[in-house]
Structure 1
Amino acid sequence: MAVKVLVVDDSGFFRRRVSEILSADPNIQVVGTATNGREAIDQALALKPDVITMDYEMPMMDGITAVRHIMQRCPTPVLMFSSLTHEGARVTLDALDAGAVDYLPKNFEEISRNPDKVRQLLCEKVHTISRSNRRYSGFSAPGNSPAAAPSAHASSAPVAPSRPAHTAASAAPKRKSYKLVAIGTSTGGPVALQRVLTQLPGSFPAPLVLIQHMPAAFTKAFAERLDKLCKIRVKEAEDGDLLRPGLALLAPGGKQMMIDGRGSVKILPGDERLNYKPCVDITFGSAAKSFNDKVLAVVLTGMGADGREGARLLKQSGSQVWAQDEASCVIYGMPMAIVKANLADAVYGLDDIGRHLVEACS
């Protein structure tokens, strides 16, 4: 059955172009378009699409407000279009916090210069986030009423309730003097990381590194956002930064982050041969080499299998690997790869991971 898509944008050119690209895929059906946020809400209620593509800046009602209303009234996976700027990053993070699943850069030049690449990426994103639809059905964010803006200190994204944390694979966390906590994630990661990291006390005893698939223009804004919300410190990693307890270093977009045995961070150019920049496997692998069995790695929501091979190296060194459970993932791809490869020492719901990190590292 074809994925039904509603395209929302105030630009007639962009609506037509996105509709043409999606309609060229025989497994996608564009069921409607809208020119502003209010039309988007009406169309979402009437057409019940599987996915909505959403612009931010529109007349009458902006995209973030529209997402908030849609998540309250008819929760639907939303793919945001955003500009690759610091302001675009801030807006996109607000949209994800409001309930959007994923985002794509809105780049007219790229569409003209490389239409095949854009077509493949857009259709892949739509197909992938359509599969998250069942996780949104019937769920809405606590306190996320259409009349009220979400709190700046709490995620308003609707997330399915976690399954009980203690599954067959999930014993109590193993307490240890870890030299590093490494967290890797992709789609759904910005909200998931916020949920985990805001549970950690400022006195958290271990250093952290964060690897989130994200464009170069976004990671600084994301680190700043997390730093404001969390008790621990969060910053975008720079070459030569030192690992410190209670400090989380976020891998910069478009580059690779490695750890050496002295606890120093190396930031390297993104290798064009690698699909992900930053890549979870690269950072996990360097952590395994540097700290052997003193690493606690966590793989959160995301599509694909990045992190699996790095986790394998960590397990071979004696370190611990956790995976987020399927019920609380936006996209159960990266954690599933860990579980299927029998690399997970524990599988926890999203809202339990922060608490267990505190227990394990205390």
Structure 2
Amino acid sequence: MSLKVLIVDDSALMRRQLKQMLERAGDIVSEVARDGQDALVRLEAFDPDVITLDINMPVMDGLACLSHIMAESPRPVIMVSSLTEKGALATFEALELGAFDYVNKPGGTVSLNLRDVEQELQQKVRAAANQRQSMATKVQKRRLHDAKVTRQPRQSLRSRVGSRYKLVVVGVSTGGPSTLESILRELPAGFPVPIVVAQHMPAHFTKPFAERLDRQCALKVTEVRGPALLEPGHVYIARGDADARIVKRAGNIRMISIPASDTHLWHPSISRLVTSAREVYQDRELICVQLTGMGDDGAAEMASAHQHGALTIAESEASAVVFGMPRALIEQQGAGMVLESEKIAAQLVEWASR
């Protein structure tokens, strides 16, 4: 059976290109809408499995349209956004509203090289379609949970007791920004272990993403471009379109940004980050968390670390937007615990307090 996709974009050129890209997959049929208002009219009659939604449109923009969709007829929506800081901020707002994921227009608002993301778009449409049945339940559950979560107050770390664990490594991809935000918002400023994060994301997105998290969380959140000394109470976001390593220099442990490796498919690479952490710390000093995402980046490395003493968590299928990465960790016997995202922060606090 073919997947049905509604393409929403105010540019006739973009609509035509997106339609051609999707239908070249062979198992996708599509219709188009010229703005958010037009999309809502076509939604009921066409009943798409997935919607691709531009952000900047006249009459009704993408964020307003997304709000209506999630309130009235929840289904997976993939935002098609420009590679700018403004586009990134709007995309994060869309993810908070319930969008499944995003794809970037590599050439800007009207992209002439959209074919560069054809495979990515097709893959995300298929992944999104698989989530349609559980979409409404997951969106409602996340909203109820987030409504109960309050930002932990920032406070001094100096009086806090240290932990037997030295580092938390988090891997996350598709569906990850809102999941990561909900977890970090529950951690107190006195959290005694540094947290490093590899979130698959473009370079233009990681800086505004880190700034957004810093505003929302009690922990200090920064994007890592130059060497960053790892400190308790801090979260370090690996720079997009690059990789990151944990290194020990002159007796100090830092996170550094390095060029992306051609031998890894996803960036920032979770595999490279975990491997480097294991070179600096003993496995029994590490906590590894594998959140929502496609593929298996980091699963083998986290599983090996777990088998040698690291504590590990895989996000459960019940909450994961895409269960691929957590499933890979579980299948490789690497998940010490399998938890819904809503329970992960409390578990981290309990472990780190030891």
Same fold at TM > 0.5: yes
Matched position secondary structure for 1:59: coil
Structure 2 counterpart of 1:39, one-letter code: D
Q: What CA distance in whole angstroms lies between the structure 2 residues aligned with 1:45 and 1:197?
A: 37
Task: Give the alignment's TM-score, normalised by structure 1.
Answer: 0.87
Matched residue, 2:270:
280
Q: Is the 8 A contact 1:82 1:104 kept in 2?
A: yes
Q: Is the 8 A contact 1:72 1:140 kept in 2?
A: no
User: Is 1:349–2:336 an aligned residue pair?
Assistant: no
Q: What CA distance in whole angstroms lies between the structure 1 residues aligned with 2:2 and 2:169?
A: 38
Matched position secondary structure for 2:88: helix
Larger RCO (CA under 8 A, 6+ residues apart): 1
Q: Is the 8 A contact 1:9 1:36 kept in 2?
A: yes
Q: What is the CA distance between 1:316 and its match in structure 2?
A: 4.3
Q: Is the 8 A contact 1:78 1:102 kept in 2?
A: yes
Q: What CA distance in whole angstroms lies between the structure 1 residues aligned with 2:56 and 2:139?
A: 24
Structure 2 segments unaligned to the other structure (5+ residues): 152-161
Matched position secondary structure for 1:296: strand
Aligned length: 335
Correspondence list, 1:286-301, <5 A: 286-292=276-282, 293-301=284-292
Matched position secondary structure for 1:80: strand
Q: Is the 8 A contact 2:76 2:99 kept in 1?
A: yes
Q: Is the 8 A contact 2:306 2:336 kept in 1?
A: no
Matched residue, 1:164:
none
Q: What is the CA distance between 1:139 and its match in structure 2?
A: 5.5
Matched residue, 2:309:
318
Matched position secondary structure for 1:19: helix
Cα offsets for 1:35-93 (capped at 9, x unmatched):
11122122223322110000001111110111111011111101111111111111111
Matched residue, 1:93:
92
Matched residue, 1:160:
none
Matched residue, 2:212:
225
Structure 2 counterpart of 1:318, one-letter code: G
Matched position secondary structure for 1:226: helix
Matched residue, 2:198:
211
The sequence identity of aligned pairs, in percent, is 37
Q: Is the 8 A contact 1:287 1:314 kept in 2?
A: no
Matched residue, 1:359:
350
Task: Tell me: CA distance 1:275–1:125, structure 2 relative to 1, closer, same or farther (3 Å).
Answer: same
Structure 1 counterpart of 2:29, one-letter code: Q
Structure 1 stretch 311-320 or stretch 324-333: which is displaced more? Answer: 311-320
Question: CA-atom RMSD, angstroms?
Answer: 2.3
Cα offsets for 1:77-136 (capped at 9, x unmatched):
011111111111111111111111111111358965573x43322212211211111221
Q: Is the 8 A contact 2:244 2:258 kept in 1?
A: yes
Structure 1 segments unaligned to the other structure (5+ residues): 145-149, 156-174
